[in-house]
Structure 1
Amino acid sequence: MTKKIAFFDTKPYDKKSFDEANKDFGFDITYFDAHLNAHTAPLSAEHDAVCAFVNDVIDSDVIETIANNKIQILGMRCAGYNNVDFKAAYEKLHVVRVPAYSPYAVAEHTTALILSLNRKTYKAYHRTRDGNFSINGLLGFDMHGKTAGIIGLGQIGKCLVSILKGFGMQVLAYDLYPDEAYAKEVGIEYASLEEIYKRSDIISLHCPLSKETEHMIDADAIDIMKDNVMIINTSRGKLIDTEALVRGLKAGKIGAAGLDVYEEENEYFFEDKSLDLIKDDTLARLLTFPNVLITSHQAFFTKEALHNIAQITLNNFKQFFENGDLNNEVCYDHETIKEK
């Protein structure tokens, strides 16, 4: 019997990539535009699995509804899973994810944010379209010889190392599990968070969100950073205390910020709000800074990444339904979340 999967928070590009990939799997997919939350969870009835995304709310109420609908697997079509209540899901729901879809996509978008902020290409674009060919106020700096601090040296962080080393930058890295052989091979230095904050001209975040990393960039961290530091976040919004970031920008301590994520992004990112009033005062404030560049969680958004996300997500479901061997399961055990 063909297995039915309920997809939530789907956009046209999701449907296109999953329909193409599903030719090799043969699932019966129902696409829902709405986010998965307590109000929409009943739509999972008469399905065999649920697929969700980064801004869906998968709390205890949602999990109870899904479980009551006899669904045993939730597939996250992303790497992150901080929006899942694993305590509620324990022994009720298997949770799988896409641990790696294209580290190049995220690292390259990170670089795009750095270059755009440094050389102010986003300002130049609007100027020249208005017939203003002045370069006053567009002064940047040579990246060659500057120091970049990369926090989180997984696949994305390592891709970014390659790019920034190509610019001739010195690279400092922080990771809970240092790969000293890799560091020696590519010529980078592992450092403490405090050292990275003090020495880096550019700081880029590539670590997961956890209790330990939430608001790791706070007022205290910003205070010890270099003046005019550039902060880039293409990982998770809550890694940064946004109120502290705003204060740092207003004080001139932070020279520029590139954000592909935002800690209260759920209501806005991936949606067209161009005709609506932005009620989030902090987000509205950030959008007024000329040295802040915000993109809407698009770092992952390449053809290759979408293809890989669809293939891995559907294969996760196939593994569950055929043999129960889940290579990409995230498990919960005694207050600990463990990735396979």
Structure 2
Amino acid sequence: MEIVAYGVLADEQPLLQAEFERVLADRHDLRCLGIFLNRDTVPTAAGHEIVLSSVNDTLDAEVLRALAAGGTRMIAQRATGYNNIDLTVARELGLAVARVSYYSPYSVAEFAWTLALAVNRRIVRAAHRTREFDFRLDGLMGRDLRGRTAGVVGTGKIGAAFARIAHGFGMRLLGWDIAENPDCLALGMEYVEREQLFAEADLVSLHVPLLPETHHLLDAKALGLMKSDAILVNSSRGGLVDTDALLETLRAGRLSGVGLDVYEEEAGVFFLDKSLEVMTDERLARLMTFSNVLITSHQAYFTEDAVGQIARTTVANVADYLSGRTGDDVLVPPPAG
């Protein structure tokens, strides 16, 4: 049987293929495609019982129905998030769905800190200047982090890793989550209401999943509570931040720095080369004009360690499906019988 994978990145493919060959190559073939799975490309999945999806694929009701009609019976998402998959429709169609529930939290936490430090110390502006042999320091002043307050929104594995790094900097820790993490409490973290966290933190970093109740968690009201010289970092999901409200905040001269590895309308843009096209997303283009905003293309997870772990879990999920097992990564189990 041939299994098809969508949205496979060049650096990801060798790791995915190596793991597939180690576990399943004696019985099945893997076909890796760089294109994303959506309404236009779903016909290419016809005849494939198993599809390996990426976080930027669009698996809405229309695509899922087309997959089921073409013979697909199992979707293995190569990511932790699954807000791009209509699980209700998948269940109705009898499509099994699995995801990668865990991979190296340090990849994202360390990258979130990369963004925070870069905007705090104006690294991008400084690098552009020195490439032009301009060695002035005007406009490059940052702030010490020691003694300042880090607000960690979401204190699961990634948030806790972020908090440990903040603790290493000597920062006061504020946290918000539906449940307190004992590891964070051991670091001295104080759990508070969101409003207090936004109001007191010098650095706010987002580490919660995108759910209906967290959509636009950072709206105009929340942004208005933040200190005018605070730093905001989002390495989780773009939909956590109301982009229009963020633009208004930046236009008002508030926030000393913003680091975004995700964007709420990133589908169809991130992971693609748009350098020869006109950028039609006016909000993204406007964000790019602010010198204190640093945007990267959803790469926080992109380390050899994390991507390798994602490949191992994805292949294990496929092997479980083929063997009739249901593991902890299953979101929608195969139909009984």
TM-score with structure 1 length normalisation? Answer: 0.94
Q: Aligned with 2:217: secondary structure?
A: coil
Instruction: Identify the residue that residue 145 of structure 2 maps to in structure 1.
Output: 143
Over residues 61-89 of structure 1, what are the superposed CA-to-partner deviations in whole Å (9 max), with x where a residue is unaligned? 11111112232210110111001111211
Q: Does structure 1 residue 286 correspond to structure 2 residue 280?
A: no
Any conservation in 1 of the 2:160–2:184 contact (CA below 8 Å)?
no
Q: Which amino acid aligns with 2:49?
A: D
Over residues 132-153 of structure 1, what are the superposed CA-to-partner deviations in whole Å (9 max), with x where a residue is unaligned? 1111110000000010101111
Any conservation in 1 of the 2:90–2:332 contact (CA below 8 Å)?
no
Any conservation in 2 of the 1:183–1:190 contact (CA below 8 Å)?
no
Any conservation in 1 of the 2:45–2:51 contact (CA below 8 Å)?
yes
Any conservation in 2 of the 1:249–1:256 contact (CA below 8 Å)?
no
In 2, the alpha carbon distance for the partners of 1:169 and 1:185 equals: 14
Q: Which amino acid aligns with 1:290?
A: S
**C-alpha deviation, 1:183, in angstroms:** 3.5
Instruction: Identify the residue that residue 12 of structure 1 maps to in structure 2.
Output: 10
Alignment of 1:223-262 (within 5 A): 223-262=224-263
In 1, the alpha carbon distance for the partners of 2:228 and 2:123 equals: 22
Q: Aligned with 1:66: secondary structure?
A: helix
In 2, the alpha carbon distance for the partners of 1:292 and 1:62 equals: 35
Which 5+ residue runs of structure 1 have no aligned equivalent?
Answer: 333-340
Instruction: Identify the residue that residue 166 of structure 1 maps to in structure 2.
Output: 168
Any conservation in 1 of the 2:64–2:90 contact (CA below 8 Å)?
yes
Identity within the alignment, %: 40
Instruction: Identify the residue that residue 133 of structure 1 maps to in structure 2.
Output: 135
**C-alpha deviation, 1:306, in angstroms:** 1.3
Q: Aligned with 2:174: secondary structure?
A: strand
Q: Which amino acid aligns with 2:223?
A: I
Q: Aligned with 1:29: secondary structure?
A: strand
Any conservation in 2 of the 1:197–1:225 contact (CA below 8 Å)?
yes
Any conservation in 2 of the 1:77–1:309 contact (CA below 8 Å)?
yes
Which 5+ residue runs of structure 2 have no aligned equivalent?
Answer: none
Q: Does structure 1 residue 301 correspond to structure 2 residue 285?
A: no
Q: Which amino acid aligns with 2:13?
A: K
Q: Does structure 1 residue 34 correspond to structure 2 residue 32?
A: no
Instruction: Identify the residue that residue 314 of structure 2 maps to in structure 1.
Output: 313
Over residues 154-197 of structure 1, what are the superposed CA-to-partner deviations in whole Å (9 max), with x where a residue is unaligned? 11001001111000011111111223x33432211111101111
Any conservation in 2 of the 1:8–1:52 contact (CA below 8 Å)?
yes
In 2, the alpha carbon distance for the partners of 1:19 and 1:260 equals: 27
In 2, the alpha carbon distance for the partners of 1:199 and 1:225 equals: 7
**C-alpha deviation, 1:252, in angstroms:** 1.4
In 2, the alpha carbon distance for the partners of 1:80 and 1:314 equals: 17
Q: Which amino acid aligns with 2:328?
A: N
Give the stretch that moved more between structures: 132-141 or 21-30: 21-30
In 1, the alpha carbon distance for the partners of 2:183 and 2:299 equals: 29
In 1, the alpha carbon distance for the partners of 2:215 and 2:269 equals: 21
Any conservation in 2 of the 1:76–1:96 contact (CA below 8 Å)?
yes
Aligned residues: 329
Q: Which amino acid aligns with 1:23?
A: E
Q: Which amino acid aligns with 2:130?
A: T
Instruction: Identify the residue that residue 338 of structure 1 maps to in structure 2.
Output: none
Instruction: Identify the residue that residue 119 of structure 2 maps to in structure 1.
Output: 117
Q: Which amino acid aligns with 1:203?
A: V
In 2, the alpha carbon distance for the partners of 1:23 and 1:35 equals: 23
In 1, the alpha carbon distance for the partners of 2:113 and 2:98 equals: 29
Give the stretch that moved more between structures: 117-126 or 291-300: 117-126
Give the stretch that moved more between structures: 84-93 or 51-60: 84-93
Pairwise CA RMSD: 1.2
**C-alpha deviation, 1:331, in angstroms:** 4.0
Give the stretch that moved more between structures: 40-49 or 185-194: 40-49
**C-alpha deviation, 1:30, in angstroms:** 1.3
**C-alpha deviation, 1:24, in angstroms:** 1.3
**C-alpha deviation, 1:39, in angstroms:** 2.0
Q: Aligned with 1:254: secondary structure?
A: coil
Instruction: Identify the residue that residue 22 of structure 2 maps to in structure 1.
Output: 24
Q: Which amino acid aligns with 1:19?
A: Q
Over residues 261-310 of structure 1, what are the superposed CA-to-partner deviations in whole Å (9 max), with x where a residue is unaligned? 00000121111111111110000000000000000000001111111111
